[in-house]
Amino acid sequence: MKKSTIMLAMAGVLSAAVVGAHFYANQQAELVVQEQISQFAEQSELLIEHQGSSYNLFTNTIKVQSLEIKDAAEQQVLLNIGEFSLQGYEADKISEFTEVKLANVTLSPVLAAELEQQAATLAGTSYALTSSLRYNPDNGNSQFKSSVEADGVVGVEFNFDLGNSAELMATSLEMQQSTEMTLEQELQMQSKLISAVQSLQPQTLTFAIAGQPKLDALVTELLTNQGLSKEQFQQMLAMQLAQVPVSEEAKQGLSGFAAGLNALEVNVSVDEAMDFNAFSQQVQSLAADPEALEKFLNLKITGS
């Protein structure tokens, strides 16, 4: 048999194997989704209905399409979710990257009508939510990232980098794999979790707001509900900032965002490795010296 024929035959076999594996994985994914939805329904007063699910072997991503979140008692739809995706989740080990995404989330007419009284701009838009965790087992560092976007209105991001997170990851995996526990075991697990959290070392924190075209309308709505105009709000903010002992750069960042509603970013970083207890004690000791505290936190605020 010619080499080219052998190559084609092998390619065909491999292609068939991949297709078969994907088909099997999709079947298994649907079973897992149904099981998780059933467990969620048992533990809450909500029901979840969905149109279908799929699994990608190459990216280790499961996707669930067209979800409806309902009130179990009244069978009333609360939320619609265009797509839910989970990437990188591992049931039996610590994943180095896990990401959850919710796309095209919309409020039901009932919830939208309630929210419309306070913020019509938010009631009529769709939302996207993303949350991810990246973990490096070699050095114990982890990166938490989360974002929420109200389409056409505003995007908000919160990122947190931590060191010494190996204990937290191990404890989380242990909790994930635990089934039924006695009260004593639950208390022991809670104690381990608290200890793991306290041993984390804060490294950097970033909070950011990205204004979109309808953000001005949202701010106007919220201020009007409080009986304020934008000019009055900016005057009040200026008076409050004058009494806050932070650098002029930080004040300019906040006032710049209040005026422009384009972008705001707050950055904090810690130069020395210290756990949360030591970090909290250091912050408390510098509370009476705002300038030293701002320097310790490497606080940077920019806005426009």
113 sits in which H/E element? helix 109-123
10 and 140 in a single domain? The answer is: yes
247 sits in which H/E element? none
147 within domain boundaries? yes
What pLDDT does 12 receive?
39
Domains in the chain, number? 2
41 and 116 in a single domain? The answer is: yes
144 and 218 in a single domain? The answer is: no
CA distance 8 to 261: 59
What pLDDT does 42 receive?
67
Give residue 107's Cα distance to chain centre.
19
What pLDDT does 175 receive?
80
CA distance 157 to 146: 6
CA distance 85 to 80: 14
Domain end among 151, 166, 193: 151
182 within domain boundaries? no
Amino acid (one-letter) located at 115 = L
pTM, two decimal places: 0.84
16 and 110 in a single domain? The answer is: yes
235 within domain boundaries? yes
What pLDDT does 302 receive?
96
Across 65-87, b (16+ Cβ under 10 Å) vs e yields eebebbeeeeeebebebebbbbb
What pLDDT does 28 receive?
57
131 and 216 in a single domain? The answer is: no
What pLDDT does 92 receive?
79
156 within domain boundaries? no
What pLDDT does 48 receive?
79
Q: Give the list of residues 6+ apart from residue 152 with CB closer than 8 angstroms, or none.
A: 125, 212, 213, 214
231 and 112 in a single domain? The answer is: no
144 and 14 in a single domain? The answer is: yes
- Determine if residue 104 is left, alpha or beta; phi over 0 gives left, psi from -120 to 50 gives alpha, anything else beta: left
97 within domain boundaries? yes
pLDDT digits (tens), the chain, 304 positions: 443 343 333 343 333 333 344 444 455 556 666 666 666 666 667 777 878 777 777 778 888 888 888 887 778 888 888 988 888 877 778 889 888 888 998 988 988 898 898 899 999 999 999 988 899 999 999 999 999 999 999 999 999 999 999 998 888 888 877 777 888 888 888 888 888 888 989 999 999 999 999 999 999 999 999 999 999 999 998 999 888 888 899 999 999 999 999 999 999 999 989 998 899 999 899 888 888 989 999 999 999 9
Q: Give the list of residues 6+ apart from residue 247 with CB closer than 8 angstroms, or none.
A: 291, 294, 299
130 and 1 in a single domain? The answer is: yes
36 and 137 in a single domain? The answer is: yes
269 and 142 in a single domain? The answer is: no
Domain that includes residue 4, residue range: 1-151
Q: Give the list of residues 6+ apart from residue 262 with CB closer than 8 angstroms, or none.
A: 211, 303, 304
- 303: nearest Cα among 242, 240, 243, 260: 260
Check if the beta carbon of residue 130 is closer than 8 Å to that of residue 178: no
Tokens (6 digits) for 35:
């099981």
230 within domain boundaries? yes
- C-beta atoms surrounding 273 within 10 Å: 11
- C-beta atoms surrounding 186 within 10 Å: 13
217 and 129 in a single domain? The answer is: no
Tokens (6 digits) for 23:
């088909």
12 within domain boundaries? yes
Domain end among 132, 151, 170: 151
- Paired with 54 in beta bridges are 63
240 and 136 in a single domain? The answer is: no
162 within domain boundaries? no
Domain end among 151, 173, 192: 151
